[in-house]
Amino acid sequence: MIDELSIVETDKFDKKTGSSDGLQPKQADLNCVHALNEPHLHEIHVVPNKHEVDRYVHVNWRYNMKFVPFIGIDNHGKCVTLGSGMLLHEDTKSYTWLLNAFMTAFSHEPTMIVTDQDGAMKRAIEAVFKKAKHRLCMWHIMQKILSKICKEIYDETNFKELFDKIVWNMFIEPLKFEEKWSELIEDFGLQSHKWLTKMFNIREIWIPAYLYGLMRTTSRSESENSFFKSFTSPGAMLVSFIMSYESAIERQRYRQEALDFKTIKAAPKCETKLSIELHAARVYTRMIFLLV
């Protein structure tokens, strides 16, 4: 169920402009909505202290709001929505309010938080979280390559293939990564490329070679975008959106309950009789045991 809503009553909206009485939405408009996934409040311990904050498409043209879910990973390795918010303004003040609401609900910081490169969100994280490590989501970064790299290089060479092999290699040592990166940049004459230089300078907060144990955010961001969009449409009213959000959360809960049941009722088959494998079968969920 929705645990908390913070809503300011709106004036009559102009359907063509999406504004109130022909004006841009200001104080009289819907400013923020905060929702908590209540059944998971006591289950924060099953999430490996890594949270992803993602900004999705506008809720709809009427409100021009951004949907901001807090996504963690449960003990089955699946995405779970810990809470979410909808913001009218993408500024530091709005994100600070949202992160403070998250802290009120969970009372302690995550070890790590993963976001896109939004500057306002970065400042809010620095203001609210004192210990959490802030990392950047590779999915958002990799989505920018086509628009940042010369079209001829991107389409007519193997730059993208070579780039992917370097940045996605989580087993490469940092020094080796830097060596390979320099070779690639020199081979394609991109030494003065501003965006690539900037991304290399902040490599320690997004390149897997430097982030031991960081969840791979590409597939998770992609799947969560698709998951929430499948439950609603851009033209939905706020009440309809919240009902769709409830349906999405119920789907997640059902999936988790099904995996819990399978873990309890169907013990995984061990390939050996080694004590370490037998121990792993007892302490891990079925999904995680099969992964390791």
Residue 149: name the closest of 177, 201, 203, 185 by CA. 185
Local confidence band at 221 (pLDDT 50, 70, 90 cut-offs): low
Query: Tens digit of pLDDT for each residue in 156-189?
Result: 999 999 999 999 888 899 999 999 999 999 999 9
What is the 3-class SS of 120-140, one letter each residue?
HHHHHHHHHCCCCEEEECHHH
pTM (predicted TM-score) = 0.72
Cβ atoms of 208 and 170 closer than 8 Å: yes
Given a cut of 80, whether residue 18 has pLDDT beyond it is no
Given a cut of 80, whether residue 25 has pLDDT beyond it is no
Query: Tens digit of pLDDT for each residue in 42-86?
Result: 332 223 334 555 554 444 456 777 888 888 888 888 888 888 888
Cβ atoms of 245 and 35 closer than 8 Å: yes
Tokens of 40: 């998971």
Q: Please name the residues in contact with 6: beta carbons below 8 A apart, sequence gap of 6 or more.
A: 31, 32, 33, 34, 101
Tokens of 183: 């070779």
Cβ atoms of 51 and 112 closer than 8 Å: yes
- Any idea how long the chain is? 292
Residue that wins the pLDDT comparison between 218 and 201: 201
Query: Tens digit of pLDDT for each residue in 82-128?
Result: 888 888 888 999 999 999 988 888 888 888 888 888 899 999 999 99
- What mean pLDDT is predicted for residues 3-13? 31
Four-residue CA torsion sign, 199, 200, 206, 208: positive
H-assigned helices in the chain: 92-106, 119-128, 138-142, 145-148, 151-156, 159-167, 174-187, 194-201, 217-229, 238-265, 275-283, 286-291
Amino acid making up residue 288: I
pLDDT at residue 54, rounded to an integer: 54
Tell me the pLDDT of the chain averaged across its residues: 76
Amino acid making up residue 214: L
Residue spans of the domains in the chain: they are 1-136+231-264, 138-213
H-assigned helices in 37-118: 92-106
How far the first Cα of the chain sits from its last, in Å, is: 34
Give the SS3 label for residue 113.
Answer: strand
